[in-house]
Amino acid sequence: MLKIIDRIFGCLLVLASCGHTVGTILWTKPMSGMFIWSLGAALAGLLLGALNIVRAGRPEDRTLAVITSIGTACWGLVTFGFGKSIGNIFDPRPLGHVIISMVLVIFGLITITRANSAAERPIRTHRTMGA
């Protein structure tokens, strides 16, 4: 059940980033500096969402979990900073990204913890099983 919720939040980050792209195209002057950087930020959010979806399906991949946790935490901080820069941290645009990011970071930390405990268990082979 947690894996499904984890993937749902990854999908939510992808959808939020798609919304960010639409907003950039509709409300930012095309080919301006703001337009280019905003599209780049949307791409970053989209890639982090996709990586989090992949991570949810790979519970033993500690490296991927560390990368997504750090990247998603940074994304959450950037979106929080955007909320501060527009003078409203409760604006639904950045707030949605912040909440989604916090949940994904928690799931990433759970993955890291589980991968670490799995790595500490001895690997049983036919030689160690008494065969």
Question: What tens digit of pLDDT does each residue of 28-53 get?
Answer: 999 999 999 999 999 999 999 999 99
Does the pLDDT value for residue 123 go beyond 70? no
Q: Following DSSP, what letter does each residue of 18-80 receive, concatenated?
A: HHHHHHHHHHS-TTSHHHHHHHHHHHHHHHHHHHHHHHHT-TT-HHHHHHHHHHHHHHHHHHH
Give the per-residue pLDDT at 70.
98
Of 92, 96, 112, 90, the residue nearest 49 (C-alpha): 96
Quick one: DSSP state of residue 131?
Answer: -
* Greatest extent of the chain over all pairs of C-alpha atoms, in Å: 70
Which tops the pLDDT comparison, 8 or 125? Answer: 8
Q: How many whole angstroms separate alpha carbon 50 and alpha carbon 58? A: 13
Mean per-residue pLDDT, 76-91: 96
Give the per-residue pLDDT at 130.
58
pLDDT digits (tens, 9 = 90+) for 92-112: 999 999 999 999 999 999 999
Q: How many whole angstroms separate alpha carbon 21 and alpha carbon 35? A: 10
Domain ranges of the chain: 2-119
The vertex-89 CA angle with 81 and 80, nearest 5°, equals 25
Predicted TM-score of the model (pTM): 0.87
Q: How many whole angstroms separate alpha carbon 97 and alpha carbon 59? A: 24
